[in-house]
Amino acid sequence: MIITIVVSLAKAIGLIFLIILPMVSYTVYAERRVSAMIQDRIGPNRVGIPLTLFGFPKDIPFYGLVQPIADAVKLLLKEDFTPAHVNKLYYWLAPACAMAPSMMALAVIPFGSQLWGEPMVVANVDVGVLWVFAVSSLGVYGIVLAGWSSNSKYPFLGGIRSSSQMISYELSLALSVIPIFMVCGTLNLPDIVKYQIDHGWLISPIWIKGISLFPPGINFQEIWRSIDILKIILWIPLFISFIVFVISMFAETNRLPFDLPEAETELVGGYHTEYSSMKFALFFLGEYAAMIAGAAVIVTLFFGAWHVPFLPTTLHNPYTVWGVLLGLIHITAFFVKVALLLFFFIWVRWTLPRFRYDQLMRLGWYFFIEIALVNVFIVAIILPFVPK
């Protein structure tokens, strides 16, 4: 019993503090760097290890990779100012409400196969994706509380926008993944991953089986058998649900082109206008952690989570060096996929302009919900003909 608790705690703390929080800060760095490069600039490339502070003749520049630490120090050391006109309780509560849900959503994500025989998922619960949706929709409370308690017009508008936007897109988000549960027959995320290992990633129309690198070998018969026309037909609605899911995820995480709650050009800073110092940093963290959680869910549902094609998924003895190495490769693979998706998020942000509010609502209610709903029926019609 105690061992189980210790192991779960180790997994949770390791995931949050060793992987997610550094990843958040480096996503912010990547955001700045990639946006700069897209706009033909260079971006933050200065901050290195400041050896001159300790009397050395030269700094180590390090491509500006120390920038996130400098940012964090700056945010920590800034004056934590609480305006006089705010509702103190909710004003203090809001940043935590914005931050915690995105971290909690990560609990059910299978971010690796195993390490020393221990499955790399903090909570292997059967509700799986439902937990993610339930918790990540709690994130809106942080934003609404912030907007409401700030007692000032721009945060208020941001809060209102955020609540209506997140409620609208929650629907299409949940509806668009129903086809996946119909295909996989489970809500449990590790089981969905297992399905994808057996039947191919859901994003891919054909899945070549019978090629293996360790041990090397090609089985032509199996390759021939793995190409199935019905599966390709089934792939079409799954791809549609992928697109709807990704776009809804953009809206859910308040990313451009759906970043109306904090539209800088219209609402100053949106819901966090009145916040400073670490409270502002918590919103920032929450936003990027939500982005990572969203990307992790997309990776788990559509990109086979930690699965690397042509590599064995398990070894007989996970306690050997090779077993641990394989586990580490799987964890790395998962976060590489997440990083690529985050790059896509950033790439989209610096490409598209912001939607007008009525366009946003129209897109959500008139198109995405309908598309997702029809998609469910299409899958239901195709599914009986597809061999398991």
Residue placing its CB nearer to other proteins in the complex, 247 or 289: 247
Answer for which of 38, 69, 125, 383 binds other proteins (CB under 8 A) is: 38
Exposure on the CB side of residue 121, measured as CA atoms within 13 A: 20
Residue holding tokens 């308040």?
Answer: 254
Residue placing its CB nearer to other proteins in the complex, 160 or 236: 236
Residue placing its CB nearer to other proteins in the complex, 26 or 92: 26
- Say whether residue 357 binds other proteins (CB under 8 A): no
Answer for which of 34, 75, 104, 106 binds other proteins (CB under 8 A) is: 34
Nearest partner of 260 among 350, 353, 348, judged by Cα:
353
- Tokens of residue 204, six digits: 């891919």
Residue 112 host element (H or E) = strand 112-115
Residue type, 258: F
- Say whether residue 56 binds other proteins (CB under 8 A): no
Burial class (CB in 10 A: 0-12, 13-18, 19+), 375: buried
Cis previous bond, 190, omega within 30: no
**Measured from the CB of residue 332, what is the shortest distance to other proteins in angstroms?**
23
Within residues 59-88, the interface with other proteins by CB under 8 A covers none
Answer for which of 63, 239, 350, 365 binds other proteins (CB under 8 A) is: 350
**Measured from the CB of residue 302, what is the shortest distance to other proteins in angstroms?**
18
- Say whether residue 374 binds other proteins (CB under 8 A): no
**Measured from the CB of residue 352, what is the shortest distance to other proteins in angstroms?**
6
What letters, b where the CB count within 10 A reaches 16 and e where it falls short, cover 108-135?
bbbbbbbbeeeebbbbeeeebbebbbeb
DSSP 15-74: IIIIIIHHHHHHHHHHHHHHHHHHTT---S----B-GGGGT-S--B-GGGTTHHHHHHHH
Q: Which stretch binds other proteins (CB under 8 A): 15-23, 24-32, 39-47, 266-274?
A: 39-47
**Measured from the CB of residue 14, what is the shortest distance to other proteins in angstroms?**
32
Residue 113 host element (H or E) = strand 112-115
- Say whether residue 51 binds other proteins (CB under 8 A): no
Residues contacting other proteins: total by CB under 8 A: 12
**Measured from the CB of residue 359, what is the shortest distance to other proteins in angstroms?**
10
**Measured from the CB of residue 239, what is the shortest distance to other proteins in angstroms?**
12
- Say whether residue 37 binds other proteins (CB under 8 A): yes
Q: What are phi and psi of 325, to 5 degrees?
A: -60, -45
Q: Which stretch binds other proteins (CB under 8 A): 32-40, 89-97, 133-141, 182-190?
A: 32-40
Q: Which stretch binds other proteins (CB under 8 A): 101-109, 152-160, 286-294, 347-355?
A: 347-355
Cis previous bond, 257, omega within 30: yes
Q: What are phi and psi of 118, to 5 degrees?
A: -95, 120
Residue placing its CB nearer to other proteins in the complex, 42 or 73: 42
Answer for which of 77, 311, 352, 380 binds other proteins (CB under 8 A) is: 352
**Measured from the CB of residue 204, what is the shortest distance to other proteins in angstroms?**
19
**Measured from the CB of residue 31, what is the shortest distance to other proteins in angstroms?**
13
Q: Which stretch binds other proteins (CB under 8 A): 36-44, 86-94, 99-107, 294-302?
A: 36-44
Q: Check if the beta carbon of residue 252 is closer than 8 Å to that of residue 293.
A: no
Alpha carbons 89 and 149: distance in angstroms, whole number: 8
Nearest partner of 212 among 306, 309, 304, 305, judged by Cα:
309
**Measured from the CB of residue 247, what is the shortest distance to other proteins in angstroms?**
10
Alpha carbons 206 and 230: distance in angstroms, whole number: 10
Nearest partner of 287 among 246, 346, 360, judged by Cα:
346
Give me the residues that bind other proteins (CB under 8 A), please: 34, 37-42, 347-348, 350-352
